[in-house]
Amino acid sequence: MASLKRLLIGSPMETKRLKHEKLPKWKALAVFSSDALSSVAYATEEILLVLMLLGTSVFFYSLPIAVAILVLLLLVTLSYRQIIYAFPSGGGAYVVAREHLNPTVSLVAGAALMIDYVLTVAVSISSGVAALTSAFPGLLPWKVEIAVALVLLLMILNLRGITESATVFAYPTYLFIISVLTLIVVGGWQLWHEGWHGFNYREHASAAHFFASGYSMFILLRAFASGCSAMTGVEAISNGVPAFKPDSSKNAAITMGWMSLLLGTMFLGITVLAAGFGVTPLEHKTVISQIGHHVFGNSIFFYLFQMITMFILVLAANTSFAGFPQLVSIIANDRFLPRSLSARGDRLVFSNGIILLSILAIVLIVAFHGETHSLIPLYAVGVFLSFTIGQSGLLKKIWKEKEKRNITTLVTVMAGTIVTGLVTMITVVAKFTQGAWLVIVAIPLLVWMFYRIHDHYEKLGEQLKLDEQEWTRRKKMLKPKVIIPISGVSKVVAQSVQYARSISNDITAISVIFYEEEEQKLREKWEKFYPDIPLHVIYSPYRTILSPILDYINEMEKQANGSPITILMPQFIVKKWWHALLHNQTAIILRFFLIMKKDIVIATLPYHLKE
């Protein structure tokens, strides 16, 4: 197993190498922004899918919706650049709320972000597989299996380390950016020369007609909420600031600016092309695939574009593999999650967080059968809730700092807080029946779990705290009574008896027999070697071993009246693993039952066989 681990993730790294495992801006853009950038592959389609409820005549309204989303993206980017400078330790909305709001609100932000990261992996992988099956429909029956395999592949790549995985993911990300910008330029040139032949509201539906019913307004808001999936992953850079090379805050802020500019350009460009070409969502044929086919035809460039899109959608999940482990390590350090999530693995990454994320994402993919449109309604609630909480905390911080207060920054953050708050409410209402209620239920459950974990650690700390008076009393502890369970007299038992004599003068051997005539033979052999150590023999007419031993130990525990008892279990260790299958594992089972007892120490003394 150790050899397999080395083969898959590489040799362990020394702790002092951590400072070299920092990312330059061009690699960080690929690691932390692949989710946001890749969302352009499905965000426009999500808008059109909702607008379809009113017919294709209203598809032109995808353009003003896209512009509204870009304004929101600008506000959030400006606010989160401030968060990056104010909180260089990372953690994003969770840390901001922890420092400037209250613990419960910060945990809500943490829960929302954790859910979002898991959904990011599930949605990105499922979207990547959808892009693949759009070009190769024969793979449709295997989409869930392909998605699970891709999650496992990403898990292994990320377990290999930050720098190594960043190099792998950088090139496909930039290839996707170049291919999408090429698609927009070539498609724009075609529209310029061929003319706009898509959906035009002047010809199909007037504004008065569209806004005539309240239901139409609701559909418009719902389309806006669905299109906001383009902003998922925007906060990832603020969560992972420590992963950047020094000056980490400055480099993270610059990278966030690059990411927002590229995201806005690509999202608006694809939305314009979809409207200009009159693209409508089709089953098993993505909108971006249809645009690619319209621009590149049935050439090799179309299939190349599809493959690149698939790769970036799969690698978009890497944003979560970078952000989720960082976030849960911070929450774990605050003792709201298991401490194991805060520990770095062999390759200086938070291995347990990476593995946990992979497991949760696979569960979602299997549960929703790898359907992107089933997963996306769960998606944006947590994102915008964390946006709102993070900006609220930042707003409170700026308001407190009267000397450093900047009116422009204050107004920007306040506007961002209000708008993201409204988007959160719109998203909850618009997507509630589609599955958003699951996230709304999951967040308080996670917060409840956080507090239960924290209470456990608090109580543990109180119980393990040692004062001077208690230490003085502990130093006067008596030597323990030692009980040695045996099945016969052998070298294994001899070793245990020798060790028992070194720690105590009160030693008793215990043996369970199935036939009464065995007792005399056992006693004769025992007294020949150990006449000074009493042997307690228990007859078990029903051929059980555990119950008689446990009953005897319980009786000794009552008689000891709080004094320590050590159960010293002789055990031989076989040379080959399969030899263990040939022997009873009574010692292991007995240990399992005794470990919960208060005043009993369980010790195993191994005797290693040579052959």
Three-state secondary structure string covering 219-274: HHHHHHHHHHHHHCCCCHHHHCHHHECCCHHHHHHHHHHHHHHHHHHHHHHHHHHH
In this predicted model, which residue has the larger pLDDT, 475 or 147? 147
Indicate the SS3 state at residue 21. Answer: coil
Q: Do the Cβ atoms of 325 and 353 come closer than 8 Å? A: yes
pLDDT at 447 over 90: yes
Q: Which domains does the chain have, with CATH numbers?
A: 25-202+218-403+420-456 (1.20.1740.10), 473-608 (3.40.50.620)
Among 24-33, 245-254, 527-536, name the one with the lowest average pLDDT: 24-33
Among 138-142, 148-152, 403-407, 481-485, name the one with the lowest average pLDDT: 403-407
pLDDT at 79 over 70: yes
Express as a percent the part of the chain with pLDDT over 70: 83
Residue written as token pair 């070009």: 135
Task: Name the pLDDT band for 539 (thresholds 50, 70, 90).
Answer: confident
Task: Name the pLDDT band for 212 (thresholds 50, 70, 90).
Answer: very low
Say how far apart CA 355 and CA 360 lie, in whole Å: 9
> Of how many residues is the chain composed?
611
Give the DSSP H/E element, type plus range, for residue 602.
strand 600-608
- Tens digits of residue pLDDT in 224-242: 877 877 777 777 787 778 7
Q: What pLDDT sits at residue 474? A: 55
Q: Is the dihedral of CA 46, 50, 56, 59 positive or negative?
A: negative
- Tens digits of residue pLDDT in 33-68: 777 887 887 788 888 888 887 776 677 778 888 898
pLDDT at 468 over 70: no
Say how far apart CA 162 and CA 145 lie, in whole Å: 27
Task: Name the pLDDT band for 7 (thresholds 50, 70, 90).
Answer: low
Q: pTM higher than 0.85, yes or no? A: no
Query: In this structure, what token pair is assigned to residue 349?
Result: 């990454």
What phi and psi, each to the nearest 5 degrees, are found at residue 533?
-115, 120
Query: In this structure, what token pair is assigned to residue 566?
Result: 């050590």
Task: Name the pLDDT band for 554 (thresholds 50, 70, 90).
Answer: confident
Say how far apart CA 94 and CA 445 lie, in whole Å: 17
Considering only CA atoms, which of 16, 156, 110 is closest in space to residue 323?
110
pLDDT at 25 over 50: yes
Considering only CA atoms, which of 329, 380, 43, 321 is closest in space to residue 166?
321
What mean pLDDT value characterizes the chain? 79
- C-alpha distances (whole Å) from 189 to each of 186, 194, 264, 581 are 5, 8, 19, 72
Q: Do the Cβ atoms of 541 and 515 come closer than 8 Å? A: no
Strand partners, 604: 569
What phi and psi, each to the nearest 5 degrees, are found at residue 179?
-65, -40
Give the DSSP H/E element, type plus range, for residue 75.
helix 62-86
Say how far apart CA 370 and CA 499 lie, in whole Å: 59
- Tens digits of residue pLDDT in 276-298: 887 887 776 778 888 888 888 87
Q: What share of the chain is helix, strand, coil (3-state, %, to 5)?
A: 75, 5, 20
Q: Do the Cβ atoms of 135 and 305 come closer than 8 Å? A: no
- Is the peptide bond prior to 247 cis by the omega test (within 30 degrees of 0)? yes
